[in-house]
Amino acid sequence: MKVLLTGATGFLGAQLLSDFLHRNYQVLIAKRASTDLNLLFQQHGKLEAWNIEGDELDNLYRAHPDIDAIVHAATDYGRDDTKPTTTFWSNEVFPIRLLELAMQYNTALFINMDTFFNSKEMVYDYLGAYTLSKRHFQEWGLHCANAGRIRFVNLRLFHLYGPGDGSQKFVPSMVARCLAGEEIDLSDGTQKRDFIYIEDAVSAITIAMQAEIGQGKGYRHYDIGTGRSISIRNFMENVQQICASDAKLNFGALPTRKGEFKDACADSQMLRALGWSPKVAIEAGIQSVIAAATGRGPLGSGLGDKVV
């Protein structure tokens, strides 16, 4: 299978790249011109990479008109002082251009990595620009698929975690603070999240991809999560206990965010029907993150989630 992958230096993308190469897929990487691939070259040898600026995407497809699937894992979270135009270009303009090329060259499948923040039932202010842009692109994919122009599969990722994630993310940052014995201010912690370990997420994505590759044009949605959620309070108490930490957890010291999801839990029924099930329990996953943070285990890509 020939796959075009975006986001290959990100937390998820790097793991997908390793999995695809292990399966002997021919992988093409679409990246920004400024992206450094040296770490990936060290891990995997020479990789074929194309820049996304200028006419390079058109040149890529001229050289490889027989791409079987696009796996779009690149994203921009719109954090801090990111300009709205930057998030808009990264999360909407760029993938829509990929979608156009996929339709033009009859690519069989477009796999989109969505977010559990993209929910019509709730309005959540946190990462609002990111969520808005992800929703817009998902709706473009739905529109094109319903028009009979492509197979578009939307994968809504729940709370992904594991070794190698960016240090600013919730799980690695909380592990680091517990290991340091800090005093940590938190909300009341009653909100629940579906935490899915990186290896389980990759296996779910690959199974969904294999199931969808020959299905013809149309739209499909999968939730990528375990189907089980735990409270943030329970999660943090697990982290503190496994770290053997004297960190003080100040539940209720922070206000609950406006529009907070009370229980963000995946519907994993479709994945389980394909024979998938999660393998890594939350305690084992936390132990793996702690081992990486303390230098006692694999560090993963170490690159975090970046637009590439």
Find the domain containing 52 and state its range.
2-165+197-226+266-278
Q: Is residue 201 included in any domain, yes or no?
A: yes
State how far the Cα of 271 lies from the Cα of 219, in Å rounded to an integer: 16
Beta carbons of 156 and 162 less than 8 angstroms apart? no
Higher pLDDT, 72 or 298: 72
Number of domains in the chain: 1
| pLDDT the model gives residue 302 | 36
Q: Is residue 29 included in any domain, yes or no?
A: yes
Q: Is residue 73 included in any domain, yes or no?
A: yes
Domain with residue 20: its CATH number is: 3.40.50.720
Q: How confident is the model at residue 118 (pLDDT cuts 50, 70, 90)?
A: confident
Q: Is residue 181 included in any domain, yes or no?
A: no
Q: Is residue 46 included in any domain, yes or no?
A: yes
For 152-191, how does the pLDDT look when each residue is reduced to its tens digit (9 = 90+)?
999 999 999 999 999 999 999 999 999 999 999 999 999 9
E strand intervals along the chain: 2-6, 26-31, 48-51, 69-72, 109-115, 151-157, 159-161, 183-186, 192-193, 195-197, 218-224, 230-231, 248-251, 263-264
Q: Determine how many CB atoms are found less than 10 A away from the CB of residue 225.
A: 27
On average, the pLDDT of the chain sits at 91
Beta carbons of 194 and 158 less than 8 angstroms apart? yes
Q: How confident is the model at residue 257 (pLDDT cuts 50, 70, 90)?
A: confident
- Tell me which residue of 90, 168, 159, 158 sits closest to 129, measured CA to CA: 90
For 198-255, how does the pLDDT look when each residue is reduced to its tens digit (9 = 90+)?
999 999 999 999 999 989 999 999 999 999 999 999 999 999 999 999 999 999 999 9
| pLDDT the model gives residue 126 | 60
Active site residue 25: no
Choose the catalytic residue: 61, 130, 161, 222.
130
